[in-house]
Chain A
Amino acid sequence: MNTATGTSTITSTSTMIHEKDLHTTTMRSAGQLIKRSLINTRRLPSAFIPTLAMPIFNMVSFSGTFFALTKLPGFPTDRSINWFMPLGLAMGSAFSGVGLGFSLIRDLENGFYDRLRMSPTSRISLIVGPVLATWIRVTLVAIFVFIVGGLLGARPTAGVLSYVCSLVAALGISTIGAGWGLGLAFRFQDMRGAAIMQLSIFLTMFMSTAQVPLNVMTGWLHAVARINPITNIFRLSRSGWVNESSTGYMSWSNAYGGLIAITVLSVLSLIFAVRSLQKIDK
């Protein structure tokens, strides 16, 4: 009995120590992977610059080319840059996220990932680390986009909350993109996955209110965009950039849909990434 109790105590203590160690290892490994990712950004600016340039290009070209859209009755803002800046940011964030999948494919192909898997690294850290590094990069991209957008005439209509909502939406989209990109990279383990990553993100983004609001759309796109959860994320992102008189202006009813979409899609995509990683291990 005593022996049994003793054994149980030892097992329980060892489990506690083990869990504590595991937690520390996960955070430490994730921290190292964040560091590696950020060092890579500094050492390989050519890989980061497109992520920075893409939202700017999107914002500038769309707001210039489609400037006349703001003259349509019911268009929620009279500044085209206010409408297209969140789109540029969202596109940049999505591609920052799926960009993780590209770097993972490179790591898988050159054998670096096998070395990580052979080391006693926590499996979760292989996902948490890169996702957190993406958040840091997306925040940098967002600051840059806000500055350039401001210089080009973008004006918030809800003060600091305008920036906060756009940033939350950008971080959410990057998490969804990261989970999806990592999952596909684990499944395909080669560049076939990259094509699917880009195409799927591109189509999902554009079949929403990316370009015009729902009340301006016609035909099939209206039906698709209405049920596309990305539409809710765009509503959140733009709520502080549309006119105060617009129905899309900053309010809880315009925000919660986006927050739910971000949470649900992020959880689903990260589960997909974890499951795909487990499949490799098997």
Chain B
Amino acid sequence: MTTNSIRQTLALGKRSTLELFRQPAIVLPSMIFPLFFSFLGNSSFGRTTSLPGFPKVSSYLQFQLAGTIVQGVLFGSVTGAAALATDIENGFFDRLLASPTSRTGILFGRLAGSVLFGAFSTAVFIFALLPFGADVSAGIRGIIAMIISGALISLAVGALMSSVALKTGSSEAVQGTFPLLFILLFFSSAFFPRETMSGIYKTIAGFNPISHLVEGIRALSLDGFTASATARAVLVPFAIAIVALFIANSQLNKRLRSN
């Protein structure tokens, strides 16, 4: 990447970040709903922490923290990708193509906004739930690792959703993937441990990538700052992000060729 490309990517990244933060009505639900579900879950399932198979936790909220982070980051990433699709719909994407802008910068600039928002919302969730019993056993280093993990999950999901945006050019299609994410979330270990599930549900949750994203962050929250917990929290989303970026980049190239 040349200096110019980096400058252009940074400018586009700044634009996408400001765009997200300037539209609180679009972004706030992705933060309020996960927090609401956390408090709801804490009151509803508070007594389940003594069930056989449930990990040792100080409160259900401590168990739920990781699920809340992933839930918020998933929904926020859809918003970011929908904004890319809107750029395609309203012609801004074509204007960028007409200018001598770095092509990959268009994609990476958009994803930068999602990554920053992912890190920001992760920090908000941690500090909003901490006073209510969502302790992070890994301490401050664990919180930093969790924020990095949140940013990487945002990058991974944002890149996958951007592939949909680049392929379809429709914000409606991107929003249409929301129920799919919702289903994936509910069939994962985001709200209840896999150990308490049985039969087909346990198998589905085991294969579901969302379970692994959640359990990585949960390991930091419950087990403390260990090498394996940090590796799970950071490396799993990192690996998914690499694959997702590859897919998004090929979709971008396809769109460029068709243009």
The chain A residues found within 8 Å of chain B, CB to CB, are 50, 57, 61-62, 64-69, 71-72, 203, 206-207, 211-212, 216-222
Among A57, A72, A207, point to the contact of B47 (Cβ < 8 A). Answer: A72
Q: What are the interface flags for B194-211 relative to A under an 8 Å C-beta threshold, 1 for contact and 0 otherwise? A: 001111110011000000
Check if B201 sits within 8 Å of A221, measured CB to CB.
no
B113 CB, min distance to chain A CBs, angstroms? 23
Query: Count the B residues whose beta carbon is within 8 Å of the partner chain — how many?
Result: 28
Establish whether residues A67 and B187, one from each chain, have CB atoms under 8 Å apart when the complex forms: no
Q: Is the CB–CB distance between A211 and B53 below 8 Å?
A: no
28 contacts between A and B (CB under 8 A): A57-B186, A61-B187, A62-B186, A64-B187, A64-B197, A64-B201, A65-B187, A65-B197, A65-B201, A65-B205, A67-B196, A67-B198, A67-B201, A68-B196, A71-B52, A72-B47, A72-B48, A203-B36, A207-B40, A212-B44, A212-B45, A217-B43, A217-B44, A217-B46, A218-B46, A219-B42, A221-B40, A221-B44
User: In the complex the two chains form, what is the Cα distance from A221 to B45 in whole Å?
Assistant: 11
Further contacts, 8 of them, CB under 8 A, given A68-B48, A212-B45, A217-B44? A65-B201, A67-B198, A203-B36, A207-B40, A211-B40, A216-B44, A217-B46, A222-B43
Contact present for B40 and A57 (CB under 8 Å) = no
Cβ contacts under 8 Å, B1 to chain A: none
Min C-beta distance of B70 to chain A, whole Å: 15
Q: Which secondary structure dominates chain A's binding surface? A: helix
Interface SS of B by simple majority: helix
With a cutoff of 8 Å between Cβ atoms, the chain B residues found around residue A218 in the complex are 42-43, 46-47
Give the docked Cα–Cα distance between A37 and B149 (Å).
48
10 A-B pairs with least C-beta separation: A221-B43, A64-B201, A68-B196, A61-B186, A218-B46, A219-B43, A211-B44, A212-B44, A65-B192, A68-B51
CB neighbours (8 Å) of A69 from chain B are 45, 48
Bound together, the chains give a CA A203 to CA B37 distance in angstroms of 10
Tell me which residues across on chain B come within 8 A of A66, comparing CB atoms.
45, 191-192
Q: Does B183 sit at the interface, judged by CB under 8 A? A: yes
Q: What are the residues of chain A within 8 A of B46 when measuring CB–CB?
A: 217-219
- Report the minimal beta-carbon distance from A91 to chain B, rounded to whole angstroms: 13
Q: What total of A-B pairs shows CB separation below 8 Å?
A: 67
Closest to A69 in B: B48
Least CB separation from A50: chain B residue: B179
Task: Compute how far the CA of A212 lies from the CA of B205 in the bound complex, rounded to whole angstroms.
Answer: 22
Best-buried of B44, B51, B52, B54 by chain A (most CB within 10 Å): B44
The distance in angstroms between the C-alpha atoms of A61 and B43, with both chains bound, is 20
From 15 to 58 in chain B, residues with beta carbon under 8 angstroms from any chain A beta carbon are: 36, 39-40, 42-48, 51-54
Q: How far is the CA of A67 from the CA of B200 in the complex (A)?
A: 12
Q: Cβ of B183 and Cβ of A61 under 8 Å apart? A: yes
User: Knowing A72-B48, A72-B51 touch, does A67 contact B43 (C-beta < 8 A)?
Assistant: no
**Min CB–CB distance A222 → chain B (angstroms):** 7
Whole-angstrom distance between the alpha carbons of A80 and B200 in the complex? 14
Q: A65-B197, A68-B197 are in contact. Are A220 and B43 (CB under 8 A)?
A: yes
The answer, among B183, B196, B198, B199, for a CB contact under 8 Å with A57, is: B183
Question: When chains A and B are docked, how far (Å) is the Cα of A99 from the Cα of B200?
Answer: 33
Write out the residue numbers on chain B whose beta carbons fall within 8 Å of the beta carbon of A57.
Answer: 183, 186
A65 near B186: Cβ-Cβ < 8 Å? yes
Contacts of B205 in A (CB 8 A): 65
Residues on A with C-beta less than 8 A from B48 are 68-69, 72
Q: Which residues of the other chain, A, contact B39 by a CB distance below 8 angstroms?
A: 220
What separation, in Å, do the CA atoms of A64 and B199 have in the docked complex?
Answer: 9
B residues less than 8 Å from A212 (CB atoms):
44-45
Question: B199 contacts which chain A residues (CB < 8 A)?
Answer: 64
Look across to chain A and name the residue whose beta carbon is closest to the beta carbon of B182. A57
**Contacts known (A64-B197, A206-B40); A71 close to B51, Cβ less than 8 A:** yes
Please indicate the chain B residues that have their CB under 8 angstroms from the CB of A216 in the complex.
Answer: 44, 47
Complex interface: chain A residues within 8 A of B183 (CB): 57, 61
Task: Say whether, besides A57-B183, A72-B51, A219-B46, A67 and B40 are in contact (CB < 8 Å).
Answer: no
Q: How far is it, in angstroms, between the C-alpha of A217 and the C-alpha of B196 when the chains are bound?
A: 19
Whether B192 and A68, one on each chain, are in contact in the complex, defined by CB atoms closer than 8 angstroms, is yes
B76 to chain A minimum Cβ distance, whole angstroms, is: 18
Question: Which residues 164-182 of B sit at the A interface, judged by CB distance below 8 A?
Answer: 179
Residue in B47, B51, B179, B198 with the greatest tally of chain A CB atoms within 10 Å: B47
